[in-house]
């Protein structure tokens, strides 16, 4: 079978590999499509995992099931989460699934960008059957949309509040869509690129602002009549972006750090300001089974739609070109598809 294996950032090779053997508790899925994650195009983040077979936003068709499997059968279309919790540890009982040791240890073998991948019994806990109304491209959106759902849950966004979304790639655009769905009164999208700012307005934002230098705070102050934002989502994984998000937050606001920063990066935050403004800085990392199920429901309802968010689709053999496209300012979402011959 064919796989897309990353050896270094920019060094991705479509290679032949051995088809995984199916154990008694496993299911084998033939990939139909897989998304390129925002983390996959962050050099510092992806390099530390190399070499690896890429892909953790896959959908496919069950090709084979182990003799002990009862919940799935060949021919069923599925979305598969690359991590799944145990549901029994203290972290799971608190709903903090990403802190579960099982969640962190589980994975797809060899990865979503392979002609076939193996799903263990543990990962089947967050493997969802896709309705016929949800096509492959929409199925790919289940995991990233679930991450956005978790982010907005952690933000505590309430109907009637204002929200600032810094960074308008695919994840920022989904924040726009879901914030509108949740009843936000004022949605401000901010990005370095005018095209993205305009697109955010088309997708439901009230304002799309272009950030140049340090003008973000002044623009938010003007748009909110000095109140600043009730909720701030910081998409870019940088200390500077997080500091800007805190500065753009109103009194008693919540700032969500949505993306990891490089481990060596530091940021100066004045606890004095956080304390007297009662600003909450909260990280939001990945998602769990509660969010994936809610995400699938919203995808099925058309709240999140591939027709609006997926801009490029490439066959597996053009994976390097797909990754190059994913880094262009105008690209929102890239999906890699698999032909009948695995190409």
- Looking at the fold, whether 129 and 161 belong to one and the same domain comes out as no
Overall domain count for the chain? 2
Q: Tell whether 218 is covered by a domain.
A: yes
Domain ranges, residue 194: 146-283
Residues 295-334 pLDDT 10s: 999 999 999 999 999 888 889 888 888 887 877 777 678 8
- Looking at the fold, whether 33 and 81 belong to one and the same domain comes out as yes
- Looking at the fold, whether 62 and 89 belong to one and the same domain comes out as yes
Tokens standing for residue 31: 């990939």
CATH code assigned at 200: 3.40.50.720
Q: Tell whether 292 is covered by a domain.
A: no
Residue 88: CB partners within 8 Å, gap ≥ 6? Answer: none
CATH code assigned at 71: 3.90.180.10
Ordered strands of the 280-283 beta sheet: 207-210, 186-191, 162-166, 229-234, 249-257, 280-283
Q: Tell whether 168 is covered by a domain.
A: yes
Residues 165-194 pLDDT 10s: 999 999 999 999 999 999 999 999 999 999
Q: Are 171 and 144 in contact (CB under 8 A)?
A: yes
CA distance 7 to 38: 18
Judge whether residue 143 has pLDDT over 60: yes
- Looking at the fold, whether 278 and 324 belong to one and the same domain comes out as no
0.85 exceeded by pTM: yes
Judge whether residue 342 has pLDDT over 60: no
- Looking at the fold, whether 135 and 9 belong to one and the same domain comes out as yes
- pLDDT value at residue 325: 80
Residues 206-237 pLDDT 10s: 999 999 988 999 999 999 999 999 999 999 99
- Looking at the fold, whether 126 and 11 belong to one and the same domain comes out as yes
Q: Tell whether 216 is covered by a domain.
A: yes
Q: Tell whether 20 is covered by a domain.
A: yes
- Looking at the fold, whether 224 and 109 belong to one and the same domain comes out as no
Q: Tell whether 107 is covered by a domain.
A: yes
């Amino acid at each position: 079978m064919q796989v897309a294996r990353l050896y270094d950032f920019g060094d991705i090779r479509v290679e032949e590999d051995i088809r995984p053997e199916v154990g008694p508790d496993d299911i084998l899925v033939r990939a139909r499509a897989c998304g390129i994650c925002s983390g996959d195009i962050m050099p510092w983040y992806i390099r530390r995992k190399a070499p690896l077979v890429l892909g953790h936003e896959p959908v496919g068709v069950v090709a084979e099931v182990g003799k002990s499997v009862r919940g799935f059968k060949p021919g069923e279309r599925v979305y598969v989460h690359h991590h799944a919790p145990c549901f029994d540890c203290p972290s799971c009982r608190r709903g903090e699934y990403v802190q579960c040791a099982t969640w962190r240890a589980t994975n797809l073998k060899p990865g979503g960008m392979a002609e076939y991948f193996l799903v263990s019994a543990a990962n089947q806990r967050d493997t969802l059957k896709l309705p016929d109304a949800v096509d492959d491209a929409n199925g790919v959106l289940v995991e990233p949309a679930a991450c956005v759902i978790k982010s907005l849950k952690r933000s505590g966004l309430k109907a009637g509040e204002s929200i600032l979304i810094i960074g308008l790639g695919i994840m920022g655009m989904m924040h726009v869509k879901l914030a509108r769905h949740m009843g936000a009164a004022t949605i401000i999208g901010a990005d370095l690129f005018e095209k993205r700012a305009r697109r955010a307005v088309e997708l439901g934002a009230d304002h799309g602002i272009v950030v140049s230098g340090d003008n973000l705070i002044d623009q938010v102050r003007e748009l909110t009549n000095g109140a600043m934002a009730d909720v701030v989502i910081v998409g870019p994984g940088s200390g500077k972006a997080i500091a800007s998000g805190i500065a753009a937050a109103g009194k008693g606001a919540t700032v969500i750090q949505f993306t990891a920063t490089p481990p060596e990066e530091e940021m100066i935050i004045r606890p004095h300001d956080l304390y007297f403004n009662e600003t909450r800085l909260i990280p939001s990392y990945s998602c769990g089974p509660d969010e994936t199920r809610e995400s699938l429901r919203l995808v099925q309802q058309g709240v999140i739609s591939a027709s609006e968010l997926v801009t490029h689709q490439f066959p597996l053999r053009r994976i390097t070109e797909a990754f190059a496209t994913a880094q262009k300012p105008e690209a929102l979402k890239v999906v890699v598809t698999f032909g009948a011959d695995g190409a």
